[in-house]
Amino acid sequence: MSSRKRDRSGVPLQVCVVAVGDELLNGFVVNTNAAWLGQRMSQIGVQVNAGRIVADDEIAIAASVREALTTSDAVIVTGGLGPTSDDRTRHALALLAEVELVRDVRAESVLRERLEAQGRTASVQHLTQVDLPAGAAAIPNSAGTAPGIRMSIGDHVIYAVPGPPHEMRAVVDAGVVNDLVRRRRSFVLTYSLRTALIPESEVAAMIAPLEVRHTGVRVAYLASPAEVVVRMTATGDDDARVTALVDAASEDAREVLGDAVVGEASQTLAQAVVGLMAAAGRTVAVAESLTGGAIAAAITDVPGSSAMLKGGIVAYATEAKEDVLGVDVDLVALHGPVHPAVARAMAEAVRARFMCDYGIGTTGVAGPTEQNGKPVGTVHVAVAGPHHVVDVSLHLHGDRDTIRRQTVVQALDLLRRTVLGLPPRKGPSSD
């Protein structure tokens, strides 16, 4: 392996993540370590080009890492570093490098001290965790007893990190990130923007001229109900040049997409709305019918939302809209519960009831069957503010879940736009 050199100029450092564990293969544990590592690597301009999952078996682990080294510069192995007999990663690395396991005296004393501080003594079993393949180095683990391992094979490098996610993160940040940054000859930079309520095809059409203007920047689109994330990526050897490329492209993208841009994609729409409301010192309450509390849930998912959310009422039945919220009985009798006037009345009622700056109301037919002669996908969303009430009427497509999720995006974005003094925008699957 050491004899094979590749010309990598312009290509970022490639990493393969090998996740070890029977529990990952049989589905008892979800491979969140790979997801976290993917994000962490993209932050440092290193590319995860492959991922594997392998059983707690030393021959299988060694084979998987060996194969990973044929397509990647570095391999990060997660899991199997513990003290029990099913933890085989250190043995697999020794097998791969054709070396013995040797006790690392420095790691041993760190381990002994850590256990003594907890009033425990190091057992024979504990100490197996500091037996490392000869020539490998220990990476400190501030969150647990098993150190990580760094081992070079030719011009490739293998890192082994513990499986428990908080230990994995501690070890990666202590000894993997810096090492990879040092090795990186070329790097990738990504910037992502979140847009709401524009169809993916329309976003792509707006961005298309930019792709021509900014050669060297790759654009990717990630769509979810009613939202599109635009990701711009550049690669190169010169940090400053790559940064300038991505900056210029993202500035242009913000300009052409205009007020459909919610913010950076690392923030959810709910986070952006909470941030906006909290900064402006504004409060909101929600009255939900077809969304059944999903808007309140999206808002309360965000830490700090208590600064802007006063509360919510799920008024699902028609009587609840009248009796609990105080929507006019005659209004409902006249129009039926699925009507823009009812969404507006719900928004106004909840705003008054919770004595806040804004109220949101949603009513509609999520399906699977029509209701009072209104087809599935008929949705009305309203936002009542200090000065006026706005509403949008939608005919959404998709199943119950999709319709409800789109309604949540529509409601949060209607609030965002109203607070910013922008006119309402209708969702993408609406006709």
Q: Sign of the C-alpha dihedral, residues 304, 307, 309, 310?
A: positive
* Beta carbon nearer to ligand ATP, 12 or 79: 79
DSSP-derived pairing of the beta strands 47-54 and 14-20: parallel
* Beta carbon nearer to ligand ATP, 83 or 199: 83
| 109 within 8 A of 145, measured Cβ to Cβ | no
Interacting partner of 227 out of ligand ATP, Mg ion, none (Cβ under 5 to 8 A depending on kind): none
Interacting partner of 165 out of Mg ion, ligand ATP, none (Cβ under 5 to 8 A depending on kind): ligand ATP
Q: Does 58 bind Mg ion (CB under 5 A)?
A: no
Q: Does 367 bind ligand ATP (CB under 6 A)?
A: no
* Beta carbon nearer to ligand ATP, 165 or 336: 165
* Beta carbon nearer to ligand ATP, 162 or 367: 162
Nearest residue to Mg ion on Cβ basis: 82
* Beta carbon nearer to Mg ion, 83 or 140: 83
CB-hemisphere CA count at 13 Å for 147?
26
Exposure class string for 375-403: b at 16+ Cβ within 10 A, else e:
ebbbbbbbbbbeeebbbbbbbbebeeebb
Find the binder of Mg ion among 40, 55, 56, 82 (CB under 5 A). Answer: 82
Q: Looking only at residues 87 through 126 of this chain, which bind ligand ATP when binding is defined by CB under 6 A?
A: 87
Q: Looking only at residues 149 through 168 of this chain, which bind ligand ATP when binding is defined by CB under 6 A?
A: 162-165
Token duo for residue 428: 């993408």
Q: Does 81 bind ligand ATP (CB under 6 A)?
A: yes
Distance of CA 208 to the CA centre of its chain: 26
Phi, psi of 128 (to 5 degrees): -60, -20
Token duo for residue 341: 């006037």
Q: Does 413 bind ligand ATP (CB under 6 A)?
A: no
Residue 199, preceding bond cis, omega within 30 degrees? no
Q: Which of 85, 86, 89 is nearest to 18 (CA)?
A: 89
* Beta carbon nearer to ligand ATP, 76 or 302: 76
Find the binder of ligand ATP among 12, 14, 45, 80 (CB under 6 A). Answer: 80
Number of residues that bind ligand ATP (CB under 6 A): 20
Find the binder of ligand ATP among 42, 47, 78, 283 (CB under 6 A). Answer: 78
Single out the segment in contact with ligand ATP by CB under 6 A; choices: 26-34, 193-201, 251-259, 305-313.
26-34
Exposure class string for 54-67: b at 16+ Cβ within 10 A, else e:
bbbbbeebbebbbe
Q: Sign of the C-alpha dihedral, residues 220, 222, 30, 42?
A: positive
* Beta carbon nearer to ligand ATP, 80 or 225: 80
Query: Smallest distance from the beta carbon of 165 to Mg ion, in angstroms?
Result: 13
Query: Smallest distance from the beta carbon of 167 to ligand ATP, in angstroms?
Result: 7
Interacting partner of 31 out of Mg ion, ligand ATP, none (Cβ under 5 to 8 A depending on kind): ligand ATP
Q: Does 21 bind Mg ion (CB under 5 A)?
A: no
Single out the segment in contact with Mg ion by CB under 5 A; choices: 87-95, 146-154, 294-302, 376-384.
87-95
Q: Does 82 bind ligand ATP (CB under 6 A)?
A: yes
Instruction: Give me the residue label for tokens 């009255």.
Output: 287
Token duo for residue 369: 């069957």
| Alpha-carbon gap, residue 407 to 213, rounded angstroms | 36
Per-residue contact string for residues 45-74; x = within reach of ligand ATP by CB under 6 A: ------------------------------
Name the residue type at position 45: G
Number of residues that bind Mg ion (CB under 5 A): 2
Q: Does 227 bind Mg ion (CB under 5 A)?
A: no
Per-residue contact string for residues 323-362; x = within reach of ligand ATP by CB under 6 A: ----------------------------------------
Interacting partner of 288 out of Mg ion, ligand ATP, none (Cβ under 5 to 8 A depending on kind): none
Q: Does 23 bind ligand ATP (CB under 6 A)?
A: yes
Decide: residue 288, CB within 10 A, 0-12 exposed, 13-18 middle, 19+ buried. Answer: buried
Single out the segment in contact with ligand ATP by CB under 6 A; choices: 29-37, 61-69, 189-197, 283-291.
29-37
Find the binder of ligand ATP among 29, 204, 219, 390 (CB under 6 A). Answer: 29
Residues at the contact surface with Mg ion, assessed by CB under 5 A: 82, 87
